[in-house]
Amino acid sequence: MKACAFDYARPKDVSEALKLLGEGGKAAAGTQSLGPMLNLRVIQPPLLVDLRFIPELKDVSGKSEYTMLGACVTHAQIEDGRVPDPTGGFMREVASNIAYRAVRNRGTIGGSLVHADPAADWPSALTLLGATALIAGPGGRREVGLERFITGLFEVDLKENELLVAVRIPKRSKAARFGYWKFCRKAGEFPQAIGGALTDPERKESRTVVGALGGAPRLFLDLNPDVSSLGKDAYDKQLHAVALKRAVEKLK
């Protein structure tokens, strides 16, 4: 199948993009998820709003406490070290194992978060890192922690006339350690289970996350959480428990 007919717009800034979204437009950037959905006619928007040429959405900045990545920064830019990595290499590792290079060349960090596929990497990894979503809308701008931004299966705290403009990621000490593990049937496919772990002894901080649950990632504030509540299916529960265990082991 092919997509239904739609109009196309290329806004020059966030303000113009918000206006178009308010008129029924659908945001588009890397289109690695949106493209197949259009072709299968899962969605049939009257207007596609191309965000790729908005400078703010590609901007990268930072301070001593955090790094800010625009929503249109691609997985490949992170993988190749073309943007700062506040984790000292952890984000580059995550990015390098997302799907295939062709996907990473176009797919964006913001698109991954807004699409909120439970098996995608950035929802789990950025929840683990304590990242914050920066959102623009007709009423102004607001911030939402990633653990609250992703609310369920393909669901986020984002209105139709709002736009994710950037992600703010805290920097941690040089003593921080990270672990990430996912089970895939074959390389490049979406995982069946994701486990992530972080410890920063200088800041007395420990965090773990479990993803690919069929909903929002589950965040825990310790390295040995009780995972008995991660669903009713014994096989899935064990798979996620092992993914988390292996992620924690990578901290050593």
pLDDT of 158-210, one tens digit each? 998 999 999 999 999 999 999 999 999 877 788 999 999 999 999 999 999 99
- Residue span(s) of the chain under CATH 3.30.465.10 come to 55-170
Structure tokens at 91: 């984000």
CA 226 to chain centre: 25
Task: Name the band, by pLDDT with cuts 50, 70 and 90, for residue 230.
Answer: confident
Of 159, 166, 144, 147, the C-alpha closest to 60 is 166
Label residue 188 left, alpha or beta by phi (over 0 means left) and psi (-120 to 50 means alpha). left
pLDDT at 22 over 80: yes
pLDDT of residue 187: 77
Output Rg (C-alpha) for the chain, integer angstroms: 18
- Residue span(s) of the chain under CATH 3.30.43.10 come to 7-50
E strand spans, 29-80: 47-50, 60-62, 66-70
CA 88 to chain centre: 18
Pick the CATH number of 177-249 from 3.40.640.10, 3.30.390.50, 3.30.750.200, 3.30.70.250: 3.30.390.50
Q: What pTM was estimated for this model as a whole?
A: 0.94
**What does CATH list as the number for 7-50?**
3.30.43.10
Task: Name the band, by pLDDT with cuts 50, 70 and 90, for residue 2.
Answer: confident
Of 245, 195, 222, 198, the C-alpha closest to 87 is 198
Q: Mean pLDDT check: name the lowest of 142-146, 169-173, 233-237.
A: 233-237
Task: Name the band, by pLDDT with cuts 50, 70 and 90, for residue 155.
Answer: very high
* CA 59 – CA 166 distance, rounded (Å): 8
pLDDT digits (tens, 9 = 90+) for 98-135: 999 999 999 999 999 999 999 999 999 999 999 999 99
Q: Which fold has domain 55-170?
A: 3.30.465
